[in-house]
Amino acid sequence: MGGHTSLIYGLIILAGAILIVPLFKRFRMSPILGYLVTGMVIGPYGFGLVPDGENIRLLAEFGVLFLLFMIGLELPLDRLRAMRRYVFGLGSSQVIVTALILIGLAVWWGEPVGAAVVIGFGLALSSTATVLGELSERSELVMRFGRVSLAVLLMQDLAVAPLLAMVPLLGDQAPEGHALLIRAAEGLGALLLVVFLGRFVFRPVFSVVVSAKMPELFTATSLFLVVGTSFLTAEAGLSMPLGAFLAGILLADTEYRHQVEADIYPFRGLFLGLFFMTVGMSIQGTLLLNHAPLILGLLLVLILIKVFVTTIACRLFSLRWDVALRTGLTLAQGGEFAFVLIGLAVVEGVVSSFPAQIIFLVVALGIVATPFLIALGELAGNWLQQYVDVEPATLDHEAQDLRNHVVIAGFGRVGQTVADLLEQLDIPYVALDLDRNVVADARRSGKPVYYGNASSAQVLEAAGVGKAKVAVVTLDAHHLAQSLITLLRKRWPDLPIYSRARDLAFSEQLENAGATEAIPENIEASLRLGSRVLRAIGMPRDQVQELLEILTAEDYRLLREHVHCVETDGRTKQQLSEFSRRNQGDGD
C-alpha cells in the first residue's frame, strides 16, 4: 500500500503543478511563485493532500544541483573578463554592503550571529530568474541598466556556491580547530581535483561520447558529470551545489556547452520545480494573514535598503543617476536562492523555523512585486532624464563592458529595424548617428545610441568595434558607407561587415571595398513583392522559397549577370523554365 501511496502523492504533485503554475505564467508572474503556491496548497499547511514533503526532498535537491550547474555553464571566463569591473567591483560591493546592513538589523532584532549572517546574505541576493525573464520580455537586457543589472546578478550567482558551503560551518555540528583545518584541506583538494578533471578529462570524454553518435549517451554523460562532481565535493565536506557549479564553469568554455545545456535544462526545470514545491509545503500561509503588517513592513525595508545601496554603488562606479536608480529598483527584491540558502540553514539548525517562514513570505512577495519595481524604475529613469541635469554619456565608458556585440553605423529606418531585431533576441549593440534629434529620441527610450561620426577610427574604437562580433553599415550616403567599410576592413581585417546598398551596382562596390555582404534594397524589395505575387497566383510556398534562394545565391550572382548583360551558362533560364514546367496547373 505504501508504494501506491507514494504514487498517489506523485500524481497529486504533478497535477497541482499542471493546474496552478500555468495560471501564474499566463498572468506574467514568475513560475517560481506558481511552484511555491502549489506546495502551499497541497502541503500539510494547506489542504494536506501531501502530508509529508520528505518523500520528494531527495529529488528536489537535484534541482539545486542542476540550477548551480546551469549558472556555471552560463559564465564563460571571457564573459566574466569583459564585465569584470561591474561583476567583481560593483556586484561584490552591492552584495557585501547590503548583507552587512541586513546582518546588523537581524542581530538588533534578536537573531543569533550565525542566523543573522545567513539571513543577511540570503536577502542580499536578487531573483536572477525573475529579473532576467522580465528584462528579456521587455527587450531591456541590451540597455545600459540591463547590462549592469546582469553584471550584478552574475556576481550574486558566483556568491551562491561559497555561501552554501558556509552554512554547515555555522551550525551546531560545525567542526572546531584542527578538524576545521583538515576539512578545509580536504575541500581544497576536492576543488583542485574537479579543476583537473575539467581541464584534462571532461573534453576528451565528451569527444569519445560524441564520436559514438548516441544522443542518449551524451545526456547520460552530462547527468553523470553533474552528480559526480557534486559527490566529490560532498565527500570532501563541501556542499554538493559547489561541485556542480564548478563543473558548469569548466564546461562553459568548451564546444560542448550548448548541447550539455540543452540536455540538462529539462531535468533542471523538473527537479527545481519539485524543490520550490517542497519549500511551499513548509510555508504556513496563515502567517501572511496573522502577521501581514510585519511581513509587508519587512518587505518595504528590504526594498528601500537594496535600492539605496545599489543606486549609491552604481554612482560610485560613475554610472548616471537614471541608470543607477533603474538598476537599484530592478534588483530590489529578494531572490530564489534565499529559499535554498535559508532552507539549508533550517536543516542545519542555524536558523529557526519561524523567522525562516517570515523570510520566505517576504521573498515571495518581493518576486511578485518585481514587474512593478521594474516599471517604476522606467518611470523614475525617464523623470530623471527629463527634469534633472543628467551628465552626457561617454561612449567609451558606456561600451567598455561589451564584448561580442553588434556595432550599427547609422540609426535611421534600416538601423532601427536591425536594432529592434537584436533587442528581441537580447543581443547587445551600440549604434552611432550624427542626427542629434535621432540620438536624443533613442536615448529617451533607453536605447544604446550615441552621437558620433562612425567614419572616425577613434569613435569606432570607443564603441568597442575591436571586441564586436559584427559591424552593420546602414548609412544613406554611398560614399560615406564605402569609406567607412574601407576603414573597418583596414583596421579590423577579421570583422564581419554587413551593409545596405541601394542597388546591385552599389552592392558590388561596397563588397569590393571590404563588406562581407552588401544587401541591395531595391532587389530585396522586388524579390519580396515578386514572392507575394507568385503565392497569390497559386505557386506553392516551398517552391517560391526555393526560387528565391536560387536568385539570391552567391551574393545575387545570377541577377548581376542579368543586369550587366554578360554571357551566362544558361542556368538562370533553365532553372526558371524548370519552375514554369513544374508549376503548370499546380495549386496549393
Interval 176-201 mean pLDDT: 64
pLDDT of 92 over the 50 cut: yes
pLDDT of 387 over the 60 cut: no
CA distance 492 to 159: 37
- What lies within 8 Å, CB to CB, of 410 at 6+ separation is 431, 432, 433, 454, 473, 474, 475, 476
Residue 306 is predicted with a pLDDT of: 96
Burial 399-419 (b: 16+ CB within 10 A, else e): bbbbbebbbbbbbeebbbebb
Burial 457-477 (b: 16+ CB within 10 A, else e): eebbebbbbeebebbbbbbee
Residue 105 is predicted with a pLDDT of: 93
Choose the most confident range, by mean pLDDT, from 42-56, 113-127, 391-405: 113-127
Residue 583 is predicted with a pLDDT of: 46
Residue 10 is predicted with a pLDDT of: 73
- Dump pLDDT digits (tens) for 471-494: 989 888 888 888 888 889 888 988
Residue 131 is predicted with a pLDDT of: 84
Q: Of 210-219, 459-468, 577-586, which gets the smallest average pLDDT?
A: 577-586
- Dump pLDDT digits (tens) for 491-537: 898 899 888 887 777 888 888 888 888 888 766 666 667 777 777 77
Interval 108-114 mean pLDDT: 89
Q: What percent of the chain has pLDDT over 70?
A: 78
DSSP-assigned letters across all residues of 571-585: HHHHHHHHHHHHTTT
With cell 505557386, the residue in question is 539
Residue 176 is predicted with a pLDDT of: 54
Interval 451-462 mean pLDDT: 82
187 or 203: which carries more pLDDT confidence?
203
**Displacement of CA 288 from its chain's centroid (Å):** 32
Q: How far is CA 458 from CA 401, 434, 478, in A?
A: 17, 15, 21
- Burial of 584 per CB tally in 10 Å (0-12, 13-18, 19+): exposed
Residue 100 is predicted with a pLDDT of: 94
515 or 392: which carries more pLDDT confidence?
515
pLDDT of 585 over the 50 cut: no
Q: Which helix (H) or strand (E) holds 431?
A: strand 429-433
Instruction: Copy the grid coordinates of residue 113.
Output: 550571529
397-401 long-range CB contacts below 8 Å, 24 or more apart? 397/318, 398/144, 398/430, 398/448, 398/450, 399/430, 399/448, 399/462, 399/463, 399/464, 400/85, 400/464, 401/82, 401/83, 401/85, 401/86, 401/147, 401/148, 401/151
Phi then psi for 564, rounded to 5 degrees? Answer: -85, 0
Candidates 92, 91, 72; CA nearest to 195 is 72
* 8-state DSSP, 182: H
584 or 120: which carries more pLDDT confidence?
120
pLDDT of 59 over the 90 cut: no
Residue 320 is predicted with a pLDDT of: 82
pLDDT of 538 over the 50 cut: yes
Phi then psi for 472, rounded to 5 degrees? Answer: -120, 125
- Dump pLDDT digits (tens) for 542-581: 777 777 666 665 445 555 555 554 434 444 445 444 544 5
pLDDT of 584 over the 50 cut: no
Strand 449-451 relative to strand 470-473: parallel, antiparallel, unpaired?
A: unpaired
Say how many residues make up the chain.
588
For residue 341, the one-letter residue type is L
pLDDT of 329 over the 60 cut: yes
Residue 562 is predicted with a pLDDT of: 52
244-247 long-range CB contacts below 8 Å, 24 or more apart? 244/65, 244/66, 244/68, 244/69, 244/72, 245/68, 245/69, 245/71, 245/72, 245/160, 245/161, 246/72, 246/161, 246/191, 246/194, 246/195, 246/198, 247/69, 247/72, 247/194, 247/198, 247/202
Residue 300 is predicted with a pLDDT of: 95
pLDDT of 303 over the 90 cut: yes
pLDDT of 192 over the 60 cut: yes
- Burial of 587 per CB tally in 10 Å (0-12, 13-18, 19+): exposed
Interval 401-414 mean pLDDT: 84
CA distance 474 to 417: 10
102 or 549: which carries more pLDDT confidence?
102
